[in-house]
Amino acid sequence: MLFHRRETRLPSPEEALKGRPEPEFALPDRHTVLGNPLAGPYPEGLAVADFGLGCFWGAERKFWQTPGVWTTLVGYQGGHTPNPAYEEVCSGLTGHTEAVRVVFDPSAVSYETLLKLFWESHDPTQGFRQGNDTGTQYRSAVYTHSPAQQAEAEASRTAYQSVLRASGYGDITTEILPAGPFYAAEPHHQQYLDKNPAGYCGIGGTGVSCPVGVAKADG
């Protein structure tokens, strides 16, 4: 293996791989399912949400199947290494998690609805893994793009924690932070399960429904 795996802790900035100033590939122009551009700038009136919920192949499909979502793309977020490669992220030496960027029309689908889908599509109590997928790149995360998103995400976490605990689950380990740089993943990862319908999907929730209507935030 090219890089030593670190599955139990995140690297410090000093420990992280150096990365590169520019990506080593060109991102595809358009979404293979929705037909819209992957990269911004996006049309006026659309909003952006970023989620990490395990392997990004299945996670991305969950969101592109949601009415009101304009485009999705997968990438790496929450770490230190600029423009990391997939193998570097999997080493645990970049600090990134596998993430899905969701570009959506707030008049057609609310951020609260996307949060509900996020919580119900994985187990947010597992720390650095999802099911059999282990490593810091599989940690649960919400990266927010406004104070309103931050407040709504935190409120939804509190609400979901209550119902999870009542169902016998432990503490939510999801990190909720203002969005930092999002580095798009390699072209073959984009809309992977559309290109490979029988491909691996490790996404699976707890079966516990997330309350709706309790995660509102002002602003």
List, for residues 90-145, the tens digit of each pLDDT value: 999 999 999 999 999 999 999 999 999 999 999 999 999 999 999 999 999 999 99
Task: Using a pLDDT cut of 90, give the percent of the chain over it.
Answer: 90
Count the residues in the chain: 219
Strand, coil or helix: 54: coil
Joined together, the tokens standing for residue 187 give: 């072209």
Q: Is residue 200 part of a domain?
A: no
Q: What angle do CA 40, 43, 47 make, to 5 degrees?
A: 80
In a domain, 42, yes or no: no
Rounded Cα distance between 81 and 101, Å, is 18
Given a contact cutoff of 8 angstroms between Cβ atoms, the answer to whether 160 and 124 are in contact is yes
User: Looking at residue 219, what is its pLDDT?
Assistant: 36
Q: Could you tell me if residue 185 is inside a domain?
A: yes
Look up residue 73 and give its two tokens. 């793309």
CATH of the domain at 133: 3.30.1060.10
Cβ(197)–Cβ(189) below 8 Å = no
The answer to which of 147-161, 176-190, 196-210 has the lowest mean pLDDT is: 196-210
pTM, whole model, 2 decimals?
A: 0.93
Whether residue 204 is contained in a domain is answered as no
Residue 59 has pLDDT above 70, yes or no: yes
Which is more confidently placed, 213 or 35?
35
Catalytic center residues: 55
3 part of a folded domain: no
Q: What is the pLDDT of residues 60-97, one digit of tens each?
A: 999 999 999 999 999 999 999 999 999 999 999 999 99
More confident residue, 7 or 154: 154
Task: Supply the pLDDT for residue 202.
Answer: 87
Q: What total number of domains does the chain contain?
A: 1
Residues of the domain holding 152: 47-195
Mean pLDDT of 34-56: 97
For residue 27, is it within any domain? no
